[in-house]
Amino acid sequence: MNSILVIEDDNDIRELISEFLLTQDYKVMLASDGLEGFNIFQQNDEFNLIIMDVMMPNMDGFQLCQLIRKKSDVPIIMLTALEDDLDQIKGFELGVDDYITKPFSFQILIKRVEAVLRRNNQIKINNLSKLTYKNLLLNLQSFEAYDESELIDLTMKEFELLQILMENIGKVITREVMLDKLWGYNYYGDSRVIDTHIKNLRKKLKGDYIKTVKGLGYKIDE
């Protein structure tokens, strides 16, 4: 269930937005001004979306957005009675994802909410579909590996092994962990099979990416 933080100083508008979002099966938390909203945001970092007013006591929406953007890329929709293009431009420059002027219909609001969440989810999916490190790129959907933009012919085990290392940049991955991930807990073979795969993988890669940690395993340095 998507969680939405609504920050609005007008009690009637805040409650109406909350009630409408709840009917659409969203989880909702409320704040009555910018400072309260920022405190709630700091205590709950799992919001999928923030809807905020601009003109609020204690801290306005522009200040609040600036603070949030220093900590998070959570999508933000601004609600405001300000229709000046410069105000909207300022909001977008601060990292606002959408801008809705008051008065607005709740049908339009929900469509904007759905669109922003859909875009953000797609960005997350796209980011998860590939791994990059220096000149290396792994496409996790097509199972293709590239080094310096050149397609590298890897076996599936070599690809999966490189994926494990690239998902854990800077961390030492032991042979035992690699065996568990690649073959499962029922594998009883020699752990040196990992060394063989690493050796073959190194031959195919252009760069010296994989480091040996003596007595432990392997890693890709940060």
Residue 62 and residue 141 in one domain: no
pLDDT computed for residue 192 by the predictor: 78
- Between CA 163 and CA 141 the distance in angstroms is 12
Share of the chain above pLDDT 70, in %: 92
pLDDT level of residue 31 (50, 70, 90 thresholds):
very high
Residue 148 and residue 197 in one domain: yes
**Range list of H helices, 5-84:** 11-23, 34-43, 61-69
pLDDT, tens digit (0-9, with 9 covering 90-100), for 126-144: 667 888 888 999 988 888 9
Residue 57 and residue 143 in one domain: no
Residue 38 tokens read as: 């920022």
Q: Collapse the DSSP code of 151 into the 3-class scheme (helix H, G, I; strand E, B; otherwise coil) and give the result.
A: strand
Q: What is the CA radius of gyration of the chain?
A: 24
- Element at 181 (helix H, strand E): helix 175-183
How many distinct structural domains can be found in the chain? 2
**Range list of H helices, 7-155:** 11-23, 34-43, 61-69, 85-93, 106-128
pLDDT, tens digit (0-9, with 9 covering 90-100), for 143-199: 899 998 899 999 888 999 999 999 888 899 998 888 888 876 555 556 678 898 999
The domain in which residue 13 lies consists of 3-122
CATH number at residue 159: 1.10.10.10
Average pLDDT, integer, range 92-119: 88
Residue 116 tokens read as: 């922003």
Residue 101 and residue 66 in one domain: yes
- Between CA 116 and CA 48 the distance in angstroms is 10
Neighbours of 102 (CB within 10 A): 13
Residue 185 and residue 89 in one domain: no
Residue 89 and residue 196 in one domain: no
CATH number at residue 99: 3.40.50.2300
